[in-house]
A and B are shown apart, each in its own frame.
Chain A
């Protein structure tokens, strides 16, 4: 069987555990990024596909980068991958069907699986064996060679001929007549096969009226096998009888079909399903690249470093996504930034004005890391990044009253779970933790928590409004502090390397919405004056 298209080395422990995947998807708004990689509703790159593929092995990352770069050299690659994905999805559905008891559905299921297998392998051969004019990497060429050899061993052209033969035999049987007896409640009670035909009934229109009592056209009683559909909920009851009858009547032809299919009894079609998610990943990456190019956004295949982070021109794909959907494109300006962190720094701290882009920045950094560790190009003009064994996040959540721990208790519990996973190869993203308590206590708990993570060597990206955080925590040399820039009241969404400022400029935001001290009183008084305050109940 063909080796993996994305794993050069097997990954023993997943970077993103199943239980973390859902949290990460919500926190980093991954669905929006994944929708850029998808062609909905037909082809959907799901969070599972994306997150399950993430690797902490540098060789795997490089392997995928090579393959992807080679794919990107071809103009025709997307439509072929789409066809391949559709075929793989179809194959997946067929493999979910329980093995039928009766001969006819059993043979037909096997036929369809072989047909799909043929189609999939032909497409794979086409994809990985390019014209000589396009230079490809060694990794790419090796895969192409391997597919060719597998197809030759299987004997694909012979299989194709055999499938045609089978369908010629099966398609002699074209339609059946069924008589349905109806009870007093006008429910169907019995279905009876009257005829098996070698012709098809044509489409026709509803007639306008029924001629009653025309004795010249009395229909003789028809008889055939009785099939009881009283228990129509047992979904196989009618088909079971139908196929039993077909088996009897078409025994000779079915034997011929069985003989042909037995030549391929050793061919395991399910193995090919392993490539479904892998093809999805490459497809998604190519679509993402296409999106970036179409908008003239930069993209880059990051270099791998041991500890330092260097990002130039990094921007938010979520904002890019929003800008497509917005009526007014100017509402969503996509701003790029430069971020770096070098030894001994282990934390990127982001503070700044409300509505200044802190959360967007945090999400972007998280998304970049995930894309990189999937071997995919990142939204930046240049990137050098380390690889982490685990990536975890903690963003504020609505209170779950059923748990009974209160918001702070729930939050502390979540952070504690994350701490258990922490080590020097773990990245944790925190967005405004510990705001659901008094400010003094919240700051104390935040400082405690970050210290614990630093002790374990974890890398942290932290957003907070606790502006005294940097002065409270002793290990400032481990912290790269960024502030989201504000000039006057204007948010530039630029991150500048700076200690936290003294305020969050909340008043600007409040004023803009008319809920500052002056604005809110004005609002109430103007309503009183206009007497338009009544809302009908």
Chain B
């Protein structure tokens, strides 16, 4: 049962190329921030590459996910109840972590299995309650499927038996009450190893050792002391024989952790063996139940966590006064990307008063102009814009809301990016690194891909850099893909316009605005059509950040 995939054949099993592309994308667009934003727990979040691998370009699947996003986003009750159930599911996951796959099937890790089953039964009951409460508001196909699945489990014979008898199952184990360990010490009085000596059904009673010494007058220095019973043995008390269990060697530098870890290691192995020997009923039912009925619920954890986290982020954007929308989906082949009031969804979490301080923009990439050159002043917002654009596509193809007021988008089969990289320090120079990256892009891109080139070919002489960019643009025309190229090489634009006259696919021009009307120039962060200024206003930057360098 997957909330992310309508059909199991749509599940992305990953391939090396796509993983590599996602790794680059993740680094260039700082997807780690997105991963953390859409996680419910700040400490536990999907790895960026894993998040990107969840993207889909299948229209039916995007719609499938959008339905669920809409249901959760628009219904507070559903959202809150699902969060509550999700937290229990993570509890289930925690218990499972302690159990190895082998243990789970052989049910040797009895205590943990009992706990796991108790929680599982609770979760199923919670879901039943939720679907009853929200019967009228659920419209997503995935939730309807989930409801059917839960009802099937709830009504199964195994579930009924286990739910009824869960508390009785743990009784057997309560025979075990105490354990005796022998701890060896070195000449620095540090413990170095542990042996398990006994497992008992009775408790040890305390008495001061100093009192024992006083009473036992023969004691000199140290030696084996005699046992002193605090009371009579009760009938039925037994010792399960002496056992010399596995020795655990303790690293003496970790002496202070001795108690919390090493004793546990020492006796858990013994307990495990002890449990194995117990005869308990219902083992067969439990085994069957766990193996056959529980997987569909357990699988939910990741998908549910993803949706709840995603909607959490979208709600936060909304609370900050920023618009969000579910994009309209159009066919891949139309290669449309039309958005209104797009903003970079990282900015509201950084800036104060985001609804006032963030400049939104409209972008249109379609059949007639699918690829654009983006110029603009230094610090004009170019990198922020292209990042925002890519993030909107990623969120769309994850099935979530996009950070804009309106959007019509054709899914891209890939998003391929090229950003400047630091030299790696082996024999490969920076230009070679760039060339490798460009090659990788054009070895994989199709006409349905989105390509983003952020200041390519700056690691060579300007004249040669421009020549190589022109070659790359030829490749873009040949391929017919969508995308943007950011560059400070203004002289390039003349050549591109020249080539546009004879090319079928035109490359358009966009620029980040600058207002130089009043004394000092001011970056407007507004995206405009056309070529813009023929300089980058670098000296402004110098005046602001390094006035000492100026005359």
16 new A-B contacts at CB < 8 Å, known A397-B422, A445-B549 = A178-B263, A214-B238, A224-B204, A224-B206, A235-B259, A396-B423, A396-B430, A412-B542, A419-B548, A437-B488, A504-B431, A515-B439, A515-B471, A521-B478, A524-B478, A525-B478
Contact A223 B224 (CB under 8 A): no
A interface residue numbers (CB < 8 A to B): 29, 32, 93, 104-105, 108, 111-112, 167, 170-182, 184-186, 188, 190-207, 209-215, 217-226, 229, 232-233, 235-239, 243, 245-246, 248-250, 252-253, 318-319, 322, 331-332, 354-356, 358-360, 363, 395-399, 401-402, 405-410, 412-413, 415-416, 419-420, 432, 435-442, 444-445, 448-449, 452, 465-467, 503-507, 509-510, 512-517, 520-521, 523-525, 527, 533-537
Known: A223-B205, A229-B259. A198 touches B223 (CB 8 A): yes
- State A332–B197 Cα separation when bound (angstroms): 60
Q: Report the minimal beta-carbon distance from A440 to chain B, rounded to whole angstroms.
A: 8
Contact A175 B183 (CB under 8 A): yes
Contact A515 B442 (CB under 8 A): yes
Q: Report the minimal beta-carbon distance from A145 to chain B, rounded to whole angstroms.
A: 35
Q: Report the minimal beta-carbon distance from A96 to chain B, rounded to whole angstroms.
A: 11
Contact B209 A245 (CB under 8 A): yes
Taking CB atoms, residues of chain B closer than 8 Å to A397 are 422
Which of A111, A180, A204, A209 makes the CB contact (< 8 A) with B195? A204
Taking CB atoms, residues of chain A closer than 8 Å to B8 are none
- State A505–B460 Cα separation when bound (angstroms): 8
Main secondary structure of the interface of A (DSSP, over half): mixed
Taking CB atoms, residues of chain B closer than 8 Å to A435 are 458-459
Contact A188 B263 (CB under 8 A): yes
Contact A182 B260 (CB under 8 A): no
Q: Report the minimal beta-carbon distance from A180 to chain B, rounded to whole angstroms.
A: 5
Contact A220 B227 (CB under 8 A): yes
Contact B229 A221 (CB under 8 A): yes
By beta carbon, the residue of chain A nearest B550 is A448
Which of A213, A409, A537 makes the CB contact (< 8 A) with B414? A537
By beta carbon, the residue of chain A nearest B205 is A223
Binds A, one of B153-161, B299-307, B319-327, B377-385: B377-385
Known: A185-B111, A221-B229. A438 touches B488 (CB 8 A): yes
Contact A437 B538 (CB under 8 A): yes
Interface hub of B111, B432, B549 (most chain A Cβ within 10 A) = B549
- State A211–B263 Cα separation when bound (angstroms): 23
Contact B180 A406 (CB under 8 A): no
- State A356–B429 Cα separation when bound (angstroms): 8
By beta carbon, the residue of chain A nearest B382 is A406
- State A419–B548 Cα separation when bound (angstroms): 8
Contact B536 A438 (CB under 8 A): yes
Contact B431 A436 (CB under 8 A): no
Contact A173 B189 (CB under 8 A): yes
Known: A212-B277, A213-B238, A436-B378. A409 touches B431 (CB 8 A): no
Which of A179, A415, A437, A506 makes the CB contact (< 8 A) with B178? A179
> Which residues of chain B from 167 to 192 have a CB within 8 Å of any chain A CB?
173-174, 176-190
| 23 pairs of residues in contact across A and B, judged by CB atoms under 8 Å | A172-B222, A177-B180, A177-B181, A178-B263, A181-B177, A182-B179, A188-B267, A201-B182, A210-B277, A211-B240, A217-B242, A225-B209, A226-B206, A233-B260, A318-B425, A398-B419, A407-B383, A409-B379, A416-B548, A506-B467, A515-B472, A517-B471, A521-B478
> Which residues of chain B from 200 to 214 have a CB within 8 Å of any chain A CB?
200, 202-210, 212-213
Contact A219 B435 (CB under 8 A): no
> Which residues of chain B from 266 to 294 have a CB within 8 Å of any chain A CB?
267, 269, 271, 273-274, 277
- State A229–B538 Cα separation when bound (angstroms): 66
By beta carbon, the residue of chain B nearest A168 is B187
Binds A, one of B12-20, B73-81, B124-132, B359-367: B12-20
Taking CB atoms, residues of chain B closer than 8 Å to A506 are 431, 457, 460-461, 464-465, 467-468
Contact A239 B438 (CB under 8 A): no
Which of B223, B414, B546 makes the CB contact (< 8 A) with A197? B223
- State A243–B256 Cα separation when bound (angstroms): 13
Taking CB atoms, residues of chain A closer than 8 Å to B430 are 354, 359, 396, 432
Taking CB atoms, residues of chain B closer than 8 Å to A525 are 478
Known: A399-B383, A537-B56. A432 touches B429 (CB 8 A): no
CB of B535 within 8 A of chain A? yes
- State A322–B490 Cα separation when bound (angstroms): 39
CB of B118 within 8 A of chain A? no
Interface hub of A181, A222, A419, A467 (most chain B Cβ within 10 A) = A222
Contact B460 A354 (CB under 8 A): yes
Contact A521 B413 (CB under 8 A): no
CB of B225 within 8 A of chain A? yes
Taking CB atoms, residues of chain B closer than 8 Å to A172 are 221-222
CB of B341 within 8 A of chain A? no
Known: A510-B435, A514-B439, A515-B471. A248 touches B209 (CB 8 A): yes
Taking CB atoms, residues of chain B closer than 8 Å to A409 are 378-379, 541, 544-545
Taking CB atoms, residues of chain B closer than 8 Å to A211 are 240-241
Taking CB atoms, residues of chain A closer than 8 Å to B273 are 206-207, 210
CB of B97 within 8 A of chain A? no
Contact A535 B464 (CB under 8 A): no
CB of B87 within 8 A of chain A? no
Q: Report the minimal beta-carbon distance from B424 to chain A, rounded to whole angstroms.
A: 9
- State A218–B239 Cα separation when bound (angstroms): 6
Known: A405-B545, A448-B551, A509-B432. A210 touches B199 (CB 8 A): yes
Taking CB atoms, residues of chain A closer than 8 Å to B173 are 186
Contact B429 A219 (CB under 8 A): no
